[in-house]
Homo-oligomer: A and B are copies of this chain.
Amino acid sequence: MNFLIDNVRVLTMNAAMDRLDDGCVVVEGDSIAAVGDRGLRERYPGYERIDGEAGILIPGLVNAHTHVGMIPFRSLGDDCADRLRRLLFPLEAAMTAELAAASAAYACCEMIQAGVTTFVDMYYFEDAIAEAVKAAGMRAFLGETVVDFPSCDSRVPHGGLAYAEAFIPKWLGDELITPMVAPHGTNTNSPEKIVEAHLMAGRYGVPMTMHVSEMDYELEHIRERRGMTPIAFLDSLRVLDERFIAAHCILVDDDDIDILARRGVAVAHCIGANAKSAKGVAPVKRMLERGVRVALGTDGPASGNTLDMFTQLDLFAKFHKTANKDRSAFPAAEVVRLATIDAAAALGLGDRIGSIEAGKKADLTLVETRSANMFPVYDPYSVLVYSAKAANVDSVFVGGRPLMRGKRLIGEGLGEARSRLSAGMADFRRAAESLLATISGRGRG
């Protein structure tokens, strides 16, 4: 399908950061054919015209770290100390392939409604999740979790390796889905299995993702056993390279940052989830100054309670201005870069997505400026970072295919996804409420 969007403010996010206040973007098939001002329209007379209504058109947002199978955990014991080990890990025994897929389908609806077009996932049953994501039409890197204890999709420790060995070749070459292997963390995998995952990723030429330097007890664990930081430890295993996506990297020192830069590792920074769990604020300014590639992520719906990248833009600006004691640090345009072109580059997709330029895939998000919170617009970057919410997203396209138009999802609606998820959650919900009652020592959490 060929179409054009005009009467729109286009933030191209190209190298020159060109901005067209009365722009026009032409889409042919799955790609952007032309970008220009309003006059461009006349050169494409037969194309369907979408009126941007003075909204803001940006490259689809990239969510660089999440766990789409975890919608059933959201709002459960949020303020509970050591929540991961006391609540989340035990409850994951109640996860099934069907529930993970239903959660993923729901999460895709939520992300599309929030203007996300590409995401990086780490969870169990990733093959079932891939089917759901494919049906939703989103672009994704999907990583099968490897962990050193039996999990919901493996009776043996590190069973994710065998799962990935079947999962990766099945999806290799798919236009939208990139299969991956995802060792859970430096303290939840043996060194041998981390190396094995790395070799597998290399064999198939796919990325690999892992939680890195997120938890204080993770740092202690590696320091006690290896006498170094998690990042130095991973580097000693020779697994860090440009295909490595390291989630979090909160507790890092300057040597760690130099390693990340030297190896070309992509950092998926999840400010919302990190702040909610009081883990600290990753030194992103120093990372960028030293040349580390940084993208932003929401973390899973159990951790950050949202899959919405607009929330992250706002939180990122506020936390990093405060951490650097400088209101001019990270001006809004730079924050938008981190969720679009910089994220695409970090994930190795910089030649395909992340900016609105002829030849790139037509992954586009149209944000309306009709709503109360979106007026006035002196600076559209400012409006996106400090004012816009997921609810302002009007239309979303992935590879030229419309996934939402006029705030209505195309394809399976949210209602259907929610009915399916809610019905599939009955056993999980009972297990959750019972465990929470035990932990909190009272009837209700």
Residues of A bordering B, CB below 8 Å: 71-72, 74-81, 83, 106, 109-110, 113, 272, 275-281, 304-306, 308, 311, 314-315, 317-319, 321-322, 324-332, 371-373, 375-379, 382-383, 386-387, 389-391, 414, 418, 421-422, 425, 429, 432-433, 436, 445
Contacts and interface: CB of A to CB of B under 8 A. Distances in A.
A322 B281 CA distance: 8
Given A319-B275, A331-B79, A386-B305, A72 B376 contact: yes
A387 B305 contact: yes
A386 B325 contact: no
Contacts of A429: 376
Contacts of A378: 74-77, 432-433, 436, 445
A135 to B, nearest CB: 17
A188 B75 CA distance: 45
13 contacts: A71-B376, A74-B375, A74-B378, A76-B376, A77-B378, A77-B379, A78-B331, A275-B318, A276-B386, A277-B327, A311-B314, A389-B390, A390-B391
Ranked 6 nearest A-B pairs via Cβ: A391-B391, A305-B386, A275-B318, A110-B372, A79-B331, A75-B382
Contacts of A319: 275, 318-319, 322
A107 to B, nearest CB: 9
Contacts of A272: 318
B328 A377 contact: no
B379 A76 contact: yes
A78 B277 contact: no
A215 to B, nearest CB: 12
Nearest to A383: B75
Of A277, A327, A414, most B-chain CB atoms within 10 Å: A327
Nearest to A319: B275
